Amino acid sequence: DTEVTQTPKHLVMGMTNKKSLKCEQHMGHRAMYWYKQKAKKPPELMFVYSYEKLSINESVPSRFSPECPNSSLLNLHLHALQPEDSALYLCASSQGDYTDTQYFGPGTRLTVL
């Protein structure tokens, strides 16, 4: 099973809402990632969790809050977002670290009104 699942597929939220994105993998991977992708642009790394510990935060605003409850799950909590945060949010996982193949989930398309 080389699948990374993400829910929801689509999310529309207001600037005062609180919502969460979820990501799950059952490949035994120990590194998990959040990326943000704007239209016609490459994915931009936001966070990396390695062995359930946050190892990289790419200076992401605090309105994005990641959480790794266990080795299979990764959440991204959203609060007080801005319209410019509208994008495709991709979760990925890899065996050990970022030198390994990254398997991407289908993404959550987020629209902030």
Partner 1 sequence: GQQVMQIPQYQHVQEGEDFTTYCNSSTTLSNIQWYKQRPGGHPVFLIQLVKSGEVKKQKRLTFQFGEAKKNSSLHITATQTTDVGTYFCAGIPYGGATNKLIFGTGTLLAVQP
Question: Do residues 27 and 2 touch, judged by C-beta distance below 8 A?
Answer: yes
Told to check if 42 binds partner 1 by CB under 8 A, we report: yes
The interface with partner 1 within residues 71-90 (CB under 8 A) comprises 88, 90
Distance between CA 26 and CA 45 in Å, rounded? 22
Question: At 84, is the secondary structure helix, strand, or coil?
Answer: helix
**In the complex, minimum distance from the CB of residue 71 to partner 1, in angstroms, rounded to a whole number:** 20
Work out how close the CB of 107 gets to partner 1 at its nearest, in angstroms, rounded to a whole number: 5
Q: State the Cα–Cα distance between residues 14 and 70, nearest whole angstrom.
A: 29
108 has which bridge partners?
89
Check binding of 45 to partner 1 (CB under 8 A): yes
The footprint of partner 1 (CB under 8 A) covers: 40-45, 48, 56, 58, 88, 90, 97-99, 101-107
